Structure 1
Amino acid sequence: MTAAVDNQSATPSLRQRIGRAGGRLRPGVGSALTWWTHALASWLPPRLRTLLGLAHERVLLQYGGEELRLALRRGDGVQDIGQLPWTAQEAERGDALLGSLLAPRVAELPRWLLLPAGAALRRRLLLPAAAADRLRDVVAFEIDRQTPFAAADVHYDARVLERHGEQIDAELVVVPRATFDSAMAALGTVAGTVAGVDVAGDDGAPLGVNLLADAVRRRRADPWRGWNWAFAAIAVIAVAMTMWQLLSNRRAAADALAEQANARAREARAVAVDKRQLVDLVEGMAYLQNARAARPTTVEVLDELGRLLPDSTYLEKLSIEGDQILLIGQSSEASALVGQLEGSKLWRSPALTGALQPDPRTGRDRFTMTAQLAIDNAPANTPANKGAADARSQP
């Protein structure tokens, strides 16, 4: 027996390496999570499922003929471990005996009592699909009708065989209480460690029921529950830190974008100011060019005076202030100067101011004459005006 059991001492599972915590990786928080875990585990290789403790293994105990047969249920297969002589003496120290003989990994697995097929009475039932959620409670009312026993005289359980739309095909399994108690008593001290009681089918494989009452079923505490809570807390903290980092990154990006927008706005305002200054400069230059083009130049005035004034006339002073022309000079024909200057296009309204003053030294009359420069409005389509308009229309 020792050699047979030692063959099962395979590589310790992951939970044993962490601290020999045993149990299952999942906390068992509902049928949906259980189904999801089983579905994921089915994709893993058998050796990896065993290493992670997801193979759903259990040790099957089957008593008969003063021998205790041990088998390992893994998935859908059953592997024999060996047989032990099982007398009253071995039964008294059975728990310690199994613990010393089995490999550590196998010793930590749940232990199930497997009753022979002839010890149970099985009946097929057709029930509504809604009964599947509380199948054990529903079949309790069928024991009196489907079996010759009362519900208080048997240990029972049920399993779903098939589903047909709104109905299910279930199987009721009952074992007389006397048979059940006798099998449990034969285990001795091992009976207190049994996690469930199943019945062998026609092929010798367990049916997948548990005949123990709910009140006496051993609830194996999940030793990974603390680790799971720790991992969940770490995951929550990691998610919170990730979300905070994302938020911080988004805020930094928003601040950088706002700074870029402000820089572009400042550049736009600077460009607008430069444009306004350029428009003002162009308009000022246009105004000056228009004013210059609208009035005769000093050279033109001097040339015109030189052409119109007689040779007997000379000027002592020529002053142009704004649009006012002031002439001071001497002429032997001073009284006729107004008529000689009236025909010019460069000024208007020539007139003598004050009285003529004879100069005995030169024999000529000193005169003072004023006139208004002829200033015309600048044409609207001059190059200066056009340049100012173009500058104003630029974006």
Structure 2
Amino acid sequence: MTALRERLGVQSLRAGGFFAWWGRSLAAWLPRSWRAALGLDRGRLLLGVDGDSLQLRLQDGDGLHDIGRMPLPTELEVEGGDVLAAVLSPALAELPRWLLLPAGACLRRRLVLPAAAAERLRDVVGFEIDRQTPFAAEDAAYDARLLSRRDGDGQLDVELVVVPRAALDAQCNALGAQARLLAGADVAGANGEPLGVNLLPPATRFAPSDPWRAWNLALAGVAVLALAAALWQMLDNRRVAADAFAVVTGRQVEAARKVSVQRQRLVDLVQGQAFLDRSRSGRATTVEVLDELSRRLPDDTYLEKFALEGDRMTLIGLSSEASALVGRLEGSKLWRAPAFTGALVPDPRTKRDRFTLVAVLVDTGPDAGDADGGDDANRR
């Protein structure tokens, strides 16, 4: 953090100090005319009391410029009036006004402070006034400026600038009502250039209204509205895209559902056909069953009904040898367990017995044949 502060060259890395430094650094890349037009480098108006006259100077990016002298306004101004605004151009009259004290009016002391003092430099040097100057803290107007930072230990070389409060009050009283418009009080150096300190207490510094405040508020409002509109438009676009996606997804889901139903139907058909094929491949065909019956039934027997339902064979008919039919049908490889389902009923018209006989069709595969053979042997 200390190295970063040294690179930045600022006293504080708090949000306000950083953005102020950042703004000044960006503004330094602009031409002076642009900075003046944007109000970034307007400079300041320096007021110096010299006897009975008031010396006016302009300090901007090009240095110091003498504007002129005028009598002290204490006897010329109207109560509450602004004499400088009447005699200066509007561009100069709107500049921040600073009282410039002569070089001999202040006492300067060099101090070495720890790097942490940079956060509250003015407050820290306030505790050094009693030790470094012959003045008490309440009887002096003071400020401090950072001279350099030491590379080895990061300590600060600071200059304490102190002016007796009585001397500062005398200068302010000489200005009369103009003193209430002062934004600060600086001290001239040995070369006449201001040191860059502000000896006025923060509570008495005049803060002129920002001419760009209304524009800034208006632009901030426009920016907020534009951001809200952009966010609303983005949300609306996302909502429309979501609706379109839902429609497309719904169509795809419906198509997938239809395909799934058709696929399931096809699977059921294939499985059913495979089951029928397996069932048919393990049992005798109808022709084989009829052929086997025609060879086993007597010639005087004829059928009124022949039915195959699953693995059940049903025979209904008339025969002169009905009681012997079960014995004739036993031992077949195509069915097993032939039996009458009811009593034999004589038919007076044909002189034969009516019968109803059932049997169970068996699997004609090799394994089933062995099993059936074993069953037949057991039955015998």
TM over 0.5: yes
Going from structure 1 to structure 2, the CA distance change for 1:350 and 1:227 (only over 3 Å counts) comes to: closer
Distance 1:137 1:297 in 2: 116
Q: Percent identity?
A: 47
| 2:8 equivalent in structure 1 | none
Contact 1:329–1:368 (8 Å) recurs in 2 = yes
3-state SS of paired residue (1:92): coil
Write out per-residue CA displacement over residues 117-172 of structure 1, whole angstroms, 9 at most, x where no aligned residue. 23333222334444445544554555555445565665433322223346432223
1:92 is aligned to 2:76: yes
Aligned 1:237-316 pairs, distance under 5 A? 273-289=261-277, 294-298=283-287, 301=290, 305=294
Distance 1:167 1:270 in 2: 80
Q: Which residue identity is paired with 2:207?
A: R
- CA drift of 1:320 comes to 0.8
| 1:78 equivalent in structure 2 | 63
| 1:18 equivalent in structure 2 | none
Q: Which residue identity is paired with 1:156?
A: Y
Length-normalised TM-score, structure 2: 0.64
Contact 1:317–1:327 (8 Å) recurs in 2 = yes
Aligned 1:307-386 pairs, distance under 5 A? 318-322=304-308, 323-328=313-318, 375-377=361-363
Q: Which runs of 5+ in 2 are unaligned?
A: 1-13, 368-380
- Give the number of equivalent residue pairs: 342
Q: Which residue identity is paired with 1:53?
A: G
| 1:41 equivalent in structure 2 | 27
Distance 2:339 2:301 in 1: 15
3-state SS of paired residue (1:38): helix
Q: Which runs of 5+ in 1 are unaligned?
A: 1-27, 360-364, 382-395
Aligned 1:187-266 pairs, distance under 5 A? 187=175, 189-222=177-210, 224=212
Write out per-residue CA displacement over residues 105-124 of structure 1, whole angstroms, 9 at most, x where no aligned residue. 32211011223323333222
- CA drift of 1:206 comes to 0.7
Q: Could you tell which deviates more after superposition, 159-168 or 249-258? A: 249-258
| 1:116 equivalent in structure 2 | 102
Write out per-residue CA displacement over residues 343-390 of structure 1, whole angstroms, 9 at most, x where no aligned residue. 976677699x6679898xxxxx86767766672226599xxxxxxxxx
| 2:161 equivalent in structure 1 | 173
| 1:14 equivalent in structure 2 | none
Match of residue 145, structure 2, among 123, 148, 159: 159
- CA drift of 1:58 comes to 0.8
Q: Which residue identity is paired with 2:183?
A: A
Distance 1:375 1:170 in 2: 116
- CA drift of 1:194 comes to 2.5
Write out per-residue CA displacement over residues 247-292 of structure 1, whole angstroms, 9 at most, x where no aligned residue. 6766777777777777766666655544554444344444555555
